[in-house]
Amino acid sequence: MKLTAESRNGSAPITGALESQCWIDRWLSTCHDLANLELSNPMMDAVIDEIDGRMIRVGERWLADFASCNYLGFDLESEIIAAVPAYLERWGTHPSWSRMLGSPVLYEQIEERLCELLGCEDALVLPTITLIHMSVIPVLAGGGTIFMENRAHKTIYDGCHYAAARGATLKRFQSDAPDDLERLLLEDNSKPRLICVDGINSMTGNATDLEVLAHLARTYDALLYVDDAHGFGVIGERDPSELCPYGNRGNGIVRHLGENYDQIVLVSGFSKSYSSLAAFLTCTPALKRLLKTAAPPYLYSGPSPIASLATTLAGFDLNEKRGDLLRADLWRKTATVLECLDELGIHTPNRSGHPIIEVPLADHEDIGAAGRFLFENGIYVTLAAYPLVPRNEVGFRIQVTASNSQAEIDQLVDVLGKLANGFDLQPSKRAEEAA
């Protein structure tokens, strides 16, 4: 079936193979499982009428929210909420200059705090990670080659494709296969060379092999560009005093793995762990100066709202005071869910203990029914349909936050048990080996 304007608008079901010459129809064809779910499943595109802690109300139904990326629960912290009005009094709600036209001093304060927390030389704040990928990757890649991990986040893909349209060559290497990357680096002599990867993968919750990739980048004179949207705020530097294996301070994957920023650009955002609309990259002062004129979002994009700059700054304070305790609590709650899956013999790719827990279904066609089952049993998760994940990984993603109550975790564990009785889930590797 050819996708019509009518079906694009949602008034007709989207089924069948789509053929088209046009990229938008090809893309819509790729997304048609997702579009069908969006039309039919209460877990997709829901309107949230009310929240109460980490409980959300959709229509008449209250659900425990396991789809939020507010890992540390900063969105609900009274200390952070209370900090906002004073900033609004002083700055109004919105600066409405692009950063080049004028940056409230709050940006400088955030960049200074970032340098101190991350241990990097300099940092640049822009509104979102997506805008950073779309504007910084093309500048760093120039007319050279980008080596992109094949499981990198869609927003990295888009940034790389934009760079390719501007003259860069794009090559993909297999995730978790540094040999494949090395082979490509050896056969390509162009300059500059940029390696783009996810830090903590947004679906599996596992960390990339940063030490090996950093070594390859340094050996082959490339720059390693790491999207750590999900790691920053959760994982941090290791220390014998640490309260849990996430480490201390939540200062991201580079510090967590004992690396430094030599030939590494770390990109992350505040919109997950810090519950604020802003993002950043680490850089040298020279790169920062270049990006001020070469990266369009610095010149042209609307800025983060003052409330977000305020909650970012208040978030740094709270992170210093209580961040490690919150992370220890998050670790424990996540471990409860992972242990439950293990006891039920259900597979998850999560090997790290990170609060992203993907549960693939045995049959990808069950996703609609499984989503409805979870919803009807009061559990809200992210449905992972094709093409968000490959077909053999279609399922759902649970995200745990420090502000999920013990009662919500218990409810999740109970519902997962019921789900395992009614649906075919992929067996855990350990269960398979034992059978």
Which residues are at the interface with ligand PLP (CB under 6 A)?
A: 128-130, 153, 155, 198, 202, 227, 229-230, 269, 271, 279
62 or 162, CB closer to ligand PLP?
A: 162
| Contact status, residue 55 vs residue 64, Cβ threshold 8 Å | yes
Q: Give min distance, CB of 129 to ligand PLP, in A.
A: 3
Pairing, β 145-149 against β 122-126: unpaired
CB of 270 to ligand PLP, least distance (A): 8
Region for 249 from its dihedrals, namely left if φ exceeds 0, alpha if ψ lies in -120 to 50, beta otherwise: left
The smaller minimum CB distance to ligand PLP, of residues 198 and 408, is found at 198
Nearer to ligand PLP, 128 or 248 (CB): 128
7 vs 202, which CB is nearer to ligand PLP? 202
Task: Provide the strand spans (E) within 182-232.
Answer: 193-198, 223-227
Q: Which two tokens stand for residue 335?
A: 């471990």
**CA angle, corner 346, sides to 341 and 349, nearest 5?**
90
Alpha-carbon dihedral of residues 335, 340, 345, 351, nearest 10 degrees?
A: -10
Check if the beta carbon of residue 280 is closer than 8 Å to that of residue 123. Answer: yes
In the complex, least distance from residue 230 CB atom to ligand PLP, rounded to whole angstroms: 6
Number of C-alpha atoms within 13 angstroms, CB side, residue 128? 8
The bridge status of strand 193-198 relative to strand 145-149 is: parallel
324 contacts: CB under 8 Å, gap ≥ 6: 242, 243, 248, 249
- In terms of CB distance, is 66 or 423 closer to ligand PLP? 66
For ligand PLP, give the closer residue by CB, 68 or 271: 271
- CB 37 within 8 Å of CB 367: yes
Element holding 383 (H helix, E strand):
strand 382-384
| Torsions phi, psi for 145 (to 5 deg) | -120, 140
In the complex, minimum distance from the CB of residue 203 to ligand PLP, in angstroms, rounded to a whole number: 9
Structure tokens of 68?
A: 């939020």
- C-alpha 123: how far from chain center: 19
In whole angstroms, the minimum distance from the beta carbon of 56 to ligand PLP comes to 18
How many CB atoms within 10 Å of residue 137? 27
Q: How far apart are CA 234 and CA 15, in angstroms?
A: 40
Closer to ligand PLP at the Cβ: 199 or 247?
Answer: 199
Q: Which is nearer to ligand PLP, 3 or 44 (CB)?
A: 44
CB of 374 to ligand PLP, least distance (A): 20
Shortest Cβ 160–ligand PLP spacing (Å): 13
Give the DSSP per-residue string, 297-346: HHHHSPPPPHHHHHHHHHHHHHHHHHHHHHHHHHHHHHHHHHHHHHHHTB
Please, which residue, 128 or 411, has the CB nearer to ligand PLP? 128
Q: Which is nearer to ligand PLP, 154 or 191 (CB)?
A: 154
* Least gap, CB of 132 to ligand PLP (angstroms): 8
> Considering beta carbons, is residue 130 or 135 the nearer one to ligand PLP?
130
Question: How far is Cα 308 from Cα 168, in angstroms, rounded to an integer?
Answer: 34
What backbone torsions phi and psi does residue 358 show, to the nearest 5 degrees?
-90, 135
State the nearest-atom distance from the C-beta of 85 to ligand PLP, in Å. 25
* Tokens linked to 327: 């992370």
Find the shortest distance in angstroms from Cβ 46 to ligand PLP: 17
Minimum CB–partner distance for residue 321 and ligand PLP (Å): 25
